[in-house]
Copies of this chain bind each other. A is one copy, B any other.
Amino acid sequence: MLKNDLVLRAARGEKTERIPVWLMRQAGRILPEYRATRSRAKNFIEFVKNPELACEVTIQPVDILGVDAAIIFSDILVIPEAMGLPYQMLEAKGPWFENTIKNKIDIDTLRIANENDLRYVMDAIKLTKQNLNNRVPLIGFAGAPWTIFAYMIEGSGSKTFSKAKQFLYTEPQLSHLLLEKITESTINYLKGQVKSGADMIQLFDSWAGVLAPDQFYEFSLKYMSRICDAIQPLVPVTVFAKDAHYAIEEISKIKCNTIGLDWTIDPSTARKLSNGKVLQGNADPCLLYADEKVILTETKKMLAAFGPLNYIANLGHGLYPDIDKEKVKFFVECIKSYKF
């Protein structure tokens, strides 16, 4: 039995004594402890593949920041790698794929990943569950199929992902073929995560925002919906489609429990459009650069606008690496001590 199950109860729409909070990228460079663990791995990929190190950094923010959930330390791009498309993480440049997907042969060559291809994540989840000792829930995650597709075609990060979008416009059938394979792999992967102990799941559609609405519905939401159909009967699922401001109503129709929101979304607008779903978010990460007075005022505004029911407090995107961890702790405390 979990000692603190606030996030899970909130995700199921149940009443909670206070608003629960966790933070995207809480296991990350804002913590000196993370940087120390990170330095013990040869490179980022080795770091991700080492269950002991992944477990360590996953638990750090629970101890240090006092958040109400842990999220397993990993990377969304383990899926392309497990499908046969390896990547590197270049210093200051981000992910980079030596090979990208260009045609049907490339797609046919990819395999459907299963949990055995991602054994190291399963091991990290099991170890973390054990070491967390039921203090808080453990969140598992995956990239949304469109976001994974975008990297597999583009081969790196991009402001526009114009190559990936070009593929959608010129090769819609091949696009669906690839998205099917990614979706199937992701479902296997997430089922494995749940079996290994993940208490809930978040899908990150980090590049939803580059798509036109019709493209989002056809090439992204449809596949996230299929993943929700497979996973939501097992554990609560959160869909975070960054910058897909136009899609809240449509997202609320799929079988997710919680909708993650970025900081450009007005809470009351989101409430109107989201059909009773639980909402998660959405402070601007840059707010945590401000002094405590400003953080307190803005955080209270956010909590009053979203809460108290059907709400999990978070940022509207991940923490930036240069944010002072004391400010992050203060933000978490503001939320935990807030009274309606």
Contact of A170 among B159, B264, B266, B291 (CB under 8 A): B291
Chain A residues touching B, range = 20 to 34
Q: A130 at interface (Cβ–Cβ under 8 A)?
A: no
User: Which residues 242-299 of A have a CB within 8 angstroms of B?
Assistant: 243-246, 263-266, 269, 284-287, 289-291, 294
Q: A99 at interface (Cβ–Cβ under 8 A)?
A: no
Q: A213 at interface (Cβ–Cβ under 8 A)?
A: yes
Q: Are B264 and A165 in touch, CB under 8 angstroms?
A: no
Q: A338 at interface (Cβ–Cβ under 8 A)?
A: no
Q: A116 at interface (Cβ–Cβ under 8 A)?
A: no
Q: Are A265 and B246 in touch, CB under 8 angstroms?
A: yes
Q: Are B165 and A289 in touch, CB under 8 angstroms?
A: yes
Contacts of A285 in B (CB 8 A): 160, 162
Q: Are A263 and B212 in touch, CB under 8 angstroms?
A: yes
Q: A330 at interface (Cβ–Cβ under 8 A)?
A: no
Q: Are A264 and B212 in touch, CB under 8 angstroms?
A: yes
Q: Are A286 and B246 in touch, CB under 8 angstroms?
A: no
Contacts of A286 in B (CB 8 A): 160, 162, 165-166, 168-169
Q: Once bound together, how far apart are the Cα atoms of A284 and B168, in whole Å?
A: 12
Q: Are B213 and A160 in touch, CB under 8 angstroms?
A: no
Q: How far is the CB of A157 from chain B (nearest CB, A)?
A: 8
Given known contacts A159-B159, A264-B212, A284-B165, is B170 in contact with A289 (CB within 8 Å)?
A: yes
Q: Are A287 and B246 in touch, CB under 8 angstroms?
A: no
How many copies are assembled? 2
User: Which residues 210-264 of A have a CB within 8 angstroms of B?
Assistant: 211-213, 215, 243-246, 263-264
User: In this complex, what residue of B is CB-closest to A316?
Assistant: B212
Contacts of A291 in B (CB 8 A): 170
Q: How far is the CB of A219 from chain B (nearest CB, A)?
A: 12
Contacts of A246 in B (CB 8 A): 245, 264-266, 269
Q: A120 at interface (Cβ–Cβ under 8 A)?
A: no
Q: A320 at interface (Cβ–Cβ under 8 A)?
A: yes
The 10 listed contacts between A and B (C-beta, < 8 Å) are A160-B320, A162-B286, A162-B289, A162-B320, A166-B289, A169-B290, A169-B294, A211-B264, A213-B266, A245-B246
* 15 additional A-B residue pairs with CB within 8 Å, beyond A162-B320, A170-B290: A159-B159, A160-B285, A160-B286, A162-B322, A165-B284, A165-B286, A165-B289, A166-B289, A168-B286, A169-B286, A169-B289, A169-B294, A170-B289, A209-B243, A245-B246
Closest 8 CB pairs of A and B: A165-B286, A169-B290, A166-B289, A212-B284, A245-B245, A212-B263, A169-B289, A162-B320
Chain A residues with CB under 8 Å of chain B are 159-160, 162, 165-166, 168-170, 209, 211-213, 215, 243-246, 263-266, 269, 284-287, 289-291, 294, 320, 322
